[in-house]
């Protein structure tokens, strides 16, 4: 049984969602290969598995021309990712299954007819955005899901069937030392984490982000960690096919970069390993799935509705019921005051949402995922 794990993205945030499964599959006697498209990806995967693990690492490369065209495309079209898939079709064809945390890999079936390759999907996050519930999910042979919330929505949308998925929890949590809380600032002020998304329509950064930083720069009650989704500052131009929207990403004014009570992190490992979601006291954001990682420990949340969404009752904004929603930055001081005065206001709702989002058990999620993968691949129907 030959199983591959593919990491083929511009950033590293997807790796911790599937990499923890590697060691468990190897321990179960499966021949595992790891395919990466950058040295940074390989380094991160190696960090998450035992150093003596018998895993085959394969670096997928492409031509210089592709790199140039990819740079010209500014990330609007993931040209390099597409080229990696196209140029390595024979490599993927030699596998029984390929585990991926994203949907671009379905091109291996849609365009390159690798119908004998079993594509196994584990979404990188457990959020509510509609982009996570698209028809492309139907192209996967097997889907690993974090909990009942995502499963039920996918079943209602007929994206999965009753027998082609497994609920396994959240392997990323297996990599986190929850009892170790990083200390970010050398003072005792409460800390706010501002975590805007990159989507050109839904993100609060384009319309209100600078105003948010201005507010925190001029007050002395809170620390601020500005750690947006890692893709926000990976690209200068963001495009959304779903919303038919493009937007140039605004730069961070230099006046914010050297303030002792503001930490700016546009994409380090700490912005993807839950360092900041463990360290902060109040979450400030818009539509990032990181809010579900935040509520592992119920704490106040504030959401910025910068695009005038009619969000009540909309499942794509279900997380906005877990905190206060504001429509303009002038509402922020009052929301922060209320969050500080009554930190447990939404705690019961958050605890319930966490339980619905993540089906945790006494067995690590990565082991449950490995067992589910092995069961699927040994079923007669998968042969």
pLDDT band at 74 (very low <50, low <70, confident <90, very high): low
At CA 6, angle to CA 377 and CA 270, rounded to 5? 120
Statement: the pTM of the whole predicted model exceeds 0.85: yes
For residue 338, pLDDT beyond 70: yes
What does pLDDT average to over the chain? Answer: 95
| pLDDT per position as a tens digit, 25-64 | 999 999 999 999 999 999 999 999 999 999 999 999 888 8
Long-range CB contacts (within 8 A, 24+) of 93-98: 93/117, 94/2, 95/2, 95/3, 95/4, 95/33, 96/1, 96/2, 96/3, 96/377, 97/1, 97/2, 97/3, 97/4, 97/141, 97/373, 97/377, 98/3, 98/4, 98/5, 98/6
| pLDDT per position as a tens digit, 347-370 | 999 999 999 999 999 999 999 999
CA dist., res. 148 & res. 185, Å (int): 37
**Three-state SS for 335?**
helix
> What residue ranges define each of the domains in the chain, with the CATH number in brackets?
2-170+359-382 (3.40.50.2000), 191-357 (3.40.50.2000)
pLDDT band at 73 (very low <50, low <70, confident <90, very high): low
């Amino acid at each position: 049984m030959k199983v591959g794990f593919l990491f083929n993205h511009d950033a590293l945030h997807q790796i911790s969602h599937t990499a923890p499964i590697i060691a468990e599959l190897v321990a179960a006697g499966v021949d595992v290969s790891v395919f990466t498209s950058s040295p940074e990806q390989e380094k991160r995967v190696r960090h998450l598995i035992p150093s003596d693990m018998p895993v085959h690492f394969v670096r997928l490369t492409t031509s210089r021309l592709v790199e140039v065209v990819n740079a010209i495309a500014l990330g609007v079209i993931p040209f390099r990712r597409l080229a990696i898939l196209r140029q390595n079709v024979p490599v993927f064809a030699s596998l029984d299954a390929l585990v991926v945390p994203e949907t671009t890999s379905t091109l291996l079936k849609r365009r390159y007819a690798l119908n004998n390759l079993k594509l196994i999907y584990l979404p990188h996050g457990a959020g509510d955005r509609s982009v996570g519930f698209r028809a492309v999910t139907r192209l996967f042979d097997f889907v690993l899901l974090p909990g009942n919330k995502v499963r039920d929505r996918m079943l209602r949308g007929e994206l999965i069937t009753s027998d082609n998925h497994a609920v396994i929890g959240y392997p990323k949590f297996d990599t986190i030392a929850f009892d170790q809380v990083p200390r970010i600032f050398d003072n005792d002020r409460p800390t706010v984490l501002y975590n805007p998304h990159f989507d050109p329509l839904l993100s609060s950064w384009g319309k209100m982000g600078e105003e948010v930083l201005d507010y925190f720069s001029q007050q002395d009650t809170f620390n601020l960690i500005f750690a947006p989704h890692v893709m926000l500052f990976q690209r200068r131009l963001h495009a959304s096919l779903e919303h038919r929207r493009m937007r140039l990403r605004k730069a961070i004014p230099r006046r914010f970069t050297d303030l002792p009570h503001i930490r700016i992190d546009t994409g380090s490992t700490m912005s993807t390993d839950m360092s900041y979601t463990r360290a902060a006291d109040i979450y400030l954001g818009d539509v990032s799935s990181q809010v579900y990682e935040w509520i592992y420990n119920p704490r106040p949340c504030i959401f910025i509705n910068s695009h005038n969404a009619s969000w009540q009752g909309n499942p794509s904004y279900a997380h906005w019921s877990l905190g206060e929603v504001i429509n303009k930055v002038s509402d922020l001081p009052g929301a922060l005051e209320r969050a500080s005065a009554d930190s447990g206001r939404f705690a019961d709702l958050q605890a319930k949402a966490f339980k619905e989002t993540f089906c945790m058990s006494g067995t690590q999620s990565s082991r449950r995922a490995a067992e589910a993968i092995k069961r699927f691949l040994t079923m007669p129907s998968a042969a």
